[in-house]
Structure 1
């Protein structure tokens, strides 16, 4: 875990807390473990996730997986954004195992991100994995950096989309 717990200890001191008080003694280790989990997408690859789960299919109609929940951290403030991804693709002889689509969303969401790039990364990965005639990804998310700080707009939702091919 390198010195990630030590850095969290410094953050606690930096905001005026006492990292030695009872409730915070184990916080640096817990926070470091949580951050490693939340950024676990850096340790995954598209090949590892797909793992050969492409299946022959005569279907050439759009396949849509909606409402895939996602949790990510914005790269600007390291605060969460939470929402749903909707992924669609037009197969060309092969379909991707259903769970793999959600795993691809998670792989990219579990990295420090901006929503616009996350949307593109998912679309390009689905395209690469399937060779689809077309791919569409739409993400709708609420950003804690908009809700908890700065402009403090509680009901704002950001929508992004990427369309590739047909």
Structure 2
């Protein structure tokens, strides 16, 4: 009797940028000036005069993921792979994101594995998916779920494994101030979800003991 495959848990629906009012660049720069004054510094002094422009420019890069659709990068697949249907692992994808609670960075690596169904996707596209979702305000748990959900929906693999490892600056720079502490989150679908041996295989390959 075939096992019943449980669907991947879906991340919560959020309003898209098109559904929200986006302040102008000038309004954003004015907000930065306000924060600079709130800290106790003079936003008009020479060293800070252009800081609002620089901050807004930097934020437009750090949060550019809101304006990209990760599914578009997964639409093209390759079926001419000599009948290959075994595991595909992309490990050690570096990423940096920002905690939605404190807007401080969390930095780490993502590891993705899947069993192809009809074809394989370009390896760089998986890294692109990680980057797009990481360049948004996030929790690590939601980031993991979003990556898994879009890959599972678009590629429909026989199994998918996603693991993120990261250090959160909201835990090392403030609060309990414990540097070196890492957080690990995982999401499994298909054969990975139903077979602990497949999960163990994934972990072995991620830790570099499988080659």
State the TM-score bracket (shorter-chain normalisation).
Answer: over 0.9
TM-score, structure 1 as length reference: 0.96
Q: Residue deviations 1:9-67, cap 9 Å, x none?
A: 110001111001111111101101111111100000024323x4311142211100000
Q: Does 1:34 align with 2:65?
A: no
Q: Residue deviations 1:99-135, cap 9 Å, x none?
A: 1000000010000000001011101111122110111
Q: Note the aligned Cα RMSD (angstroms).
A: 1.1
Q: Does 1:133 align with 2:154?
A: no
Q: Does 1:14 align with 2:38?
A: yes
Report the Cα distance in structure 1 between the residues aligned to 2:99 and 2:71, rounded to whole angstroms: 25
Moved over 3 A (4+): none
Identify unmatched segments of 5+ residues in structure 1: none
Q: Secondary structure at the match of 2:117?
A: coil
Confirm or deny: 8 A CA contact 1:59 1:93 kept in the other structure.
Answer: no
Aligned residues between the structures: 165
Q: Does 1:66 align with 2:85?
A: no
- The corresponding residue for 2:202 is none
More strand by share: 1
Report the Cα offset of residue 164 of structure 1: 1.2
Report the Cα distance in structure 2 between the residues aligned to 1:69 and 1:82, rounded to whole angstroms: 8
Q: Which has the larger radius of gyration?
A: 2
Report the Cα offset of residue 2 of structure 1: 4.8
Confirm or deny: 8 A CA contact 2:96 2:134 kept in the other structure.
Answer: yes
Among 110, 113, 119, the residue aligned to 1:94? 119
- The corresponding residue for 1:83 is 108
Q: Does 1:159 align with 2:165?
A: no
Q: Mean alpha-carbon deviation: is it higher for 130-139 or for 41-50?
A: 41-50
TM-score, structure 2 as length reference: 0.76
Identify unmatched segments of 5+ residues in structure 2: 1-24, 192-211
Q: Does 1:112 align with 2:133?
A: no
Q: Secondary structure at the match of 1:155?
A: coil
Q: Secondary structure at the match of 1:4?
A: helix
